[in-house]
Amino acid sequence: MRQLRRTMLYVPGNNAGMIKDAGIYPADCIMFDLEDSVSAGEKDAARFLVYEALSTLDYPGKELVVRINDLSSRLGMDDLEAIVRTGKAVIRLPKTECAGDVLACEAQIARIEQENGIEVGSTGMMAAVESAAGVLNAKEIAVASPRLIGIALGAEDYVTDLRTNRSPEGIELLFARSMVLLAARAAGIDAIDTVYSEVNNEEGFRAEVRLIKQLGFDGKSVINPRQINPVHEIYTPTRKDIEKSLAIMEAIAEAARRGSGVAALNGKMIDKPVVERARYTLELAQAQGTLQKEEERIWQTLT
């Protein structure tokens, strides 16, 4: 079944209460942060807290991600040594600027896996693009390693690099979002959008989520549990979408039974892109549990 990454909830690695309770929220992914949200004096304590949480706590149904510190520092290497040993989390590499950054991190992960009897290749990675150089190299980053499950945009550092700031319309992010999305699609991995920091501006948040969904992003990083449900609501296929997609897939199946390479629905030819969109809609609805019982039965017979 498709892995949902509609929401990736940031959890500061130095906040024991949030780490303990993170699993109660309906986010698809939990991202424990050891980087920007943790002050320099608390880095070691945060790493220990996250390591203990991954080693002892259960987060049923959640994909777990840890954002480490920059690998050029001792902190980043210490983070990797601790987190990879748990065998529980995807490593999110911050401030990725080129394919070499991914390959350097991958080499260290493979070494730690081998030294600790963990299956080499089993630890996933995610690359965060947060600069002009990273955006321009997004394609090379996205295809750099088979470990990569996704590529994410980090807007705050990026707009600083551009010498501008974030606007309500987000026009300054359009190029970066497009580059990250295209890179992810070319590599066959997920694209995750940046955070929206105005927690109390739900109208603005919803507008941004609708925008990134229309662009094609798989999901969004969120910094407050209140942001989770609006994202899921916007990303949930409508009844009309589900019913139309089922009808398309049934028409394709009927054409195949007739031995025909041509299928039509309501007098319109069904081509490959239409089929792919219908399949994606149904896979998403199935993963979200929004297919009705009969729809689930029909979909199972068609796959």
157-198 pLDDT, tens per residue?
A: 999 999 999 999 999 999 999 999 999 999 999 999 999 999
**Quick one: which of 192, 161, 173 has its CA closest to 9?**
192
**219 near 190, Cβ under 8 Å?**
yes
DSSP string, 198-226: -TT-HHHHHHHHHHHHHHT-SEEEESSGG
Look at the block and give the residue holding tokens 């019982």: 293
- Confirm whether 1 is domain-assigned: no
Same domain, yes or no, for 167 and 293? no
**166 near 172, Cβ under 8 Å?**
yes
CB neighbour class for 6 (10 Å; exposed up to 12, middle 13-18, buried from 19): buried
Q: pLDDT tens digits, residue range 72-116? A: 889 999 999 999 999 999 999 999 999 999 999 999 999 999 999
Helix axes 293-302, 239-257, angle to 10 degrees: 30
The per-residue pLDDT for 264 is 77
- Confirm whether 108 is domain-assigned: yes
- Confirm whether 125 is domain-assigned: yes
Of 235, 267, 284, which one is at a domain's C-terminal end? 235
Same domain, yes or no, for 44 and 104? yes
Mean pLDDT taken over the chain = 93
Same domain, yes or no, for 187 and 53? yes
Q: What is the dihedral of CA 34, 35, 39, 45, to 10 degrees?
A: 20
Of 235, 270, 294, which one is at a domain's C-terminal end? 235
Q: Which domain holds residue 271?
A: 239-302
pLDDT class of 250 with cuts at 50, 70, 90 = confident
The per-residue pLDDT for 257 is 83
What's this model's pTM, rounded to 2 decimal places?
0.91
Same domain, yes or no, for 101 and 243? no
Q: What amino acid is encoded at 85 in this protein?
A: R
Same domain, yes or no, for 84 and 127? yes
- Cα Rg of the chain, angstroms: 21
Other CB atoms closer than 10 Å to residue 34's CB: what's the count? 28
- Confirm whether 228 is domain-assigned: yes
Of 188, 209, 235, which one is at a domain's C-terminal end? 235
- Confirm whether 189 is domain-assigned: yes
- Confirm whether 89 is domain-assigned: yes
Looking at the structure of the chain, the number of domains it has is 2
- Confirm whether 192 is domain-assigned: yes
CA distance 179 to 184: 9
Same domain, yes or no, for 283 and 171? no
Same domain, yes or no, for 209 and 110? yes
- Confirm whether 92 is domain-assigned: yes
pLDDT class of 255 with cuts at 50, 70, 90 = confident
**80 near 113, Cβ under 8 Å?**
no
Same domain, yes or no, for 170 and 260? no
The per-residue pLDDT for 132 is 98
Same domain, yes or no, for 276 and 223? no
CATH number for the domain harbouring residue 123: 3.20.20.60
Is a pLDDT exceeding 80 seen at residue 55? yes
| Beta bridge pairs of residue 7 | 220
DSSP H helical segments within the chain, as ranges? Answer: 16-21, 43-56, 74-86, 99-115, 132-136, 138-142, 155-161, 174-187, 202-215, 228-235, 239-257, 272-288, 293-302
Same domain, yes or no, for 220 and 246? no
Q: Average pLDDT in the 256-282 region? A: 83
Same domain, yes or no, for 25 and 137? yes
Same domain, yes or no, for 76 and 165? yes
pLDDT class of 1 with cuts at 50, 70, 90 = low
